[in-house]
C-alpha cells in the first residue's frame, strides 16, 4: 500500500513541478509591473519641443509691432529644432510622439509667419497661401505614405535612394537638412523684417505721421531708447511700440542681404516639397494597385451572348 501510495503521489509531484501557462503569464506580468515606467512626455527631446512651442507663441505675441523681439524669439525656437534631435540620440529617447511633435511645431510656426506675411504684403497673399498649402500637404502625404506603406516602425526620414535621391540626401544628411530648414526660415524672417524697414516693399512706410498723431504718441508714452526697452516693450500694442515699429527704425540693409543669401535655398526647399508630395502620392497609388489586385479588382463581368 505504501508503495502504491508513493506511486500515486509521483505523477502529482511531477505535475506540481511543471509551471502552468497561466501562472507563468502572471509571473511575467508581475515582473513587467516591477520595472519603472517611463513617462514619454517628460523626455528631454520633448521638453525641448515644449520650449520651442512657448518661444513660438511668444514670438507671435510680439510679431505685429516688435520685429526685433519677434525675430529673436522665433529664431531661437527654430534653432532648438536641431538640439532636440541631438538630445534624442544622446539620451536614447527617440519616440514617435517626439517626431510628430517636432514636425507639427515646424509646420505650425512656419504657417503662422506666412499668415503674417500675407497680411503685410496683400498683393502676394496668394503666393504665401500656396506655400502654406504646399508645406502642409507635402509633409502630411509623406508621413501618411510612410506609415501606410513602410509600416509603423519606419521613420519618415528613412528614405531609400531608389525612391528619390534628393529626398534621401535631404533626410539622411543632417547638415543638408539643418541648412535647408534654417535658411528657409531665414528667408521668411528677412521678409518679415523688410515689412518694417523697406519702403520698396511696404510703401506705407513712406507716409508721414500727422503732427497731431505724433504729439499724441509723445504725450502717451515716453520712448526709452535703451536696447532692452526696444526689445521688450511694456506692451506690443502701446503707442510707443507703434512708433518704434512703424517709424522706419530698422535698417533694411541686413534684411536684404539675408533675403538674397537664403532665397536660393528657400526655392530649393519648395522644390523638395513638390518632389515629396509627388513621390508620396505615387507610393500610395502603388499600394492601392496591389490592394486592388489582392482583392480581385476590377472584377471582370461575364460576357453575355
> Considering only CA atoms, which of 98, 99, 53, 97 is closest in space to residue 77?
53
> Considering only CA atoms, which of 96, 122, 261 is closest in space to residue 187?
261
Pick the catalytic residue: 34, 106, 153, 211? 106
> Considering only CA atoms, which of 273, 27, 18 is closest in space to residue 166?
273
Is 288 catalytic? The answer is no
What is the DSSP track for the chain? Answer: -HHHHHHHHHHHHHHHHSPPHHHHHHHHHHHHHHSPPP-GGGSHHHHHHHHHHHHHHHHHHHTTT-HHHHHHHHHHHHHHHHHHHHHHHHTT---HHHHHHHHHHHHHHHHHHHHHHHHHSGGGHHHHHHHHHHHHHHHHHHHHHIIIII-TTS-TT---TTT-HHHHHHHH-HHHHHHHHHHHHHHHHHHHHHHHH-TTT-GGGGSPPPHHHHHHHHHH-PPP-SHHHHHS-S-TTSHHHHHHHHTT-S-SHHHHHHHHHHHHHHHHHHHHHHHHHHHHHHHHHHHHHHHHHHTTPSPPPPPP-
Active site residues: 106
Amino acid at each position: 500500500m505504501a508503495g502504491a501510495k508513493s506511486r500515486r503521489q509521483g505523477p502529482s509531484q511531477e505535475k506540481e513541478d511543471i509551471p502552468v501557462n497561466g501562472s507563468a503569464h502572471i509571473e511575467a506580468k508581475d515582473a513587467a509591473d516591477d520595472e519603472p515606467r517611463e513617462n514619454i512626455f517628460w523626455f528631454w527631446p520633448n521638453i525641448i519641443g515644449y520650449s520651442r512651442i512657448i518661444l513660438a507663441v511668444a514670438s507671435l505675441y510680439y510679431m505685429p509691432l516688435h520685429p526685433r523681439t519677434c525675430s529673436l524669439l522665433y529664431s531661437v525656437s527654430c534653432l532648438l529644432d536641431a538640439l532636440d534631435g541631438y538630445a534624442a540620440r544622446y539620451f536614447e529617447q527617440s519616440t514617435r510622439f517626439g517626431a510628430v511633435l517636432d514636425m507639427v511645431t515646424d509646420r505650425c510656426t512656419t504657417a503662422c509667419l506666412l499668415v503674417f506675411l500675407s497680411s503685410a504684403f496683400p498683393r502676394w497673399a496668394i503666393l504665401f497661401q500656396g506655400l502654406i498649402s504646399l508645406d502642409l500637404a507635402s509633409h502630411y502625404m509623406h508621413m501618411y505614405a510612410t506609415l501606410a506603406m513602410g509600416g509603423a516602425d519606419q521613420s519618415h526620414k528613412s528614405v531609400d535612394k531608389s525612391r528619390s535621391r534628393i529626398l534621401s540626401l535631404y533626410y539622411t544628411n543632417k547638415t543638408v537638412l539643418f541648412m535647408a530648414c534654417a535658411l528657409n526660415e531665414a528667408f521668411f524672417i528677412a521678409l518679415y523684417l523688410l515689412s518694417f524697414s523697406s519702403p520698396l516693399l511696404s510703401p506705407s512706410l513712406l507716409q508721414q505721421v500727422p503732427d497731431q498723431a505724433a504729439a499724441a504718441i509723445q504725450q502717451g508714452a515716453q520712448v526709452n531708447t535703451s536696447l532692452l526697452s526696444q526689445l521688450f516693450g511694456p506692451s506690443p500694442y502701446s503707442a510707443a511700440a507703434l512708433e518704434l515699429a512703424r517709424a522706419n527704425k530698422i535698417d533694411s540693409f541686413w534684411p536684404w542681404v539675408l533675403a538674397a543669401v537664403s532665397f536660393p535655398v528657400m526655392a530649393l526647399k519648395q522644390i523638395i516639397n513638390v518632389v515629396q508630395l509627388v513621390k508620396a502620392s505615387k507610393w500610395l497609388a502603388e499600394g492601392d494597385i496591389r490592394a486592388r489586385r489582392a482583392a480581385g479588382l476590377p472584377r471582370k463581368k461575364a460576357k453575355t451572348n
